[in-house]
Amino acid sequence: MRIVVDTHTHTIASGHAYSTIQEMAKGASDNGIEMMAVTDHGPDLPGAPGFLYFHNLKILPPSIHGVRIIRGVEANIMDFEGAIDLPERFLGKLDFCMAGYHEPCLKPGKVHDHTRGMVRALSNPYIDAVSHPGNPKYQVDIEEVVLAAKEHGKLIEINNHSFAVRTGSEENCRQFAILCKRHGVRIVTGSDAHFSDSVGEFGKVYRLLEEVGFPEELVLNTSVQKIDAYIRERKERIHSLTERILF
Ligand SMILES: [Zn+2]
Ligand SMILES: [Zn+2]
């Protein structure tokens, strides 16, 4: 298995990351990554960019340093009802939207709260994936989250960075991988790079997927075509939703 797409990266716009989009793309290219999602933090995280930043991502060229660019966001789940900090009119214009828990935006509660918020976020048609759902600070009922992803045709992220910074993530991520395999739920893999050198860093993810014998067909990041097909699926989902509202 070779991962050629990184669906989780932060640029200097996030306020606590240190490379520009061009530098991140160069890092991606140096590390053998063919496609990179720019997923800066949603506006409610201190230091993160505002609505207009996400609105204007459309001006980016389709590729930089030979690396295809996906316009995305890592939005914040703001309450345990699944509220998201970027309005739908912005989410709908992007290619790939993740949502996740971050402490400056929402303090941890109880397992059933975390689970409900994450399940609600996955039921939001504009949200594609939950970011670092294995974070033990926001422990969830893993099977419930995986089944919600299955029900809504959404994705579970396995985040390489979690193994280093979110202590205790490893066992949760293993459970997510085992249950995604069992229920046939697709995953995305993200480096969560906050500096250009780290784009495409997937050492821990590879090890975990190998350990659980994870099927390659459920890993979207092993080909640009699989991600493109998913983005088309997302667009159709959102299109049919707006048609339902209009008629
Ligand atoms: Zn995050
Ligand atoms: Zn992140």
Distance 247 CA to ligand 2 centre (A): 37
The pLDDT assigned to 247 comes to 61
Which pLDDT band holds residue 242 (cuts at 50, 70, 90)? Answer: confident
Residue 192 Cα to ligand 2 midpoint, Å, equals 5
The answer to whether 73 touches 100, Cβ cutoff 8 Å, is no
Question: Integer distance in angstroms from the first to the last C-alpha of the chain?
Answer: 44
Q: What is the mean pLDDT of residues 174-199?
A: 98
Q: How far apart are CA 120 and CA 229, in angstroms?
A: 24
Position 167 pLDDT exceeds 90: no
Amino acid type, 63 = S
CA of 233 from ligand 1 middle (Å) equals 24
Report the mean per-residue pLDDT for the chain.
Answer: 96
Whether pLDDT at 246 is above 70: no
Q: Considering every ligand atom, which ligand is closest to the CA of 194?
A: 2
Domains (range + CATH), the chain: 5-246 (3.20.20.140)
Spatial distance between the Cα atoms of 242 and 246, rounded to a whole number of angstroms: 6
Question: Residues 78-108: pLDDT tens digits?
Answer: 999 999 999 999 999 999 999 999 999 999 9
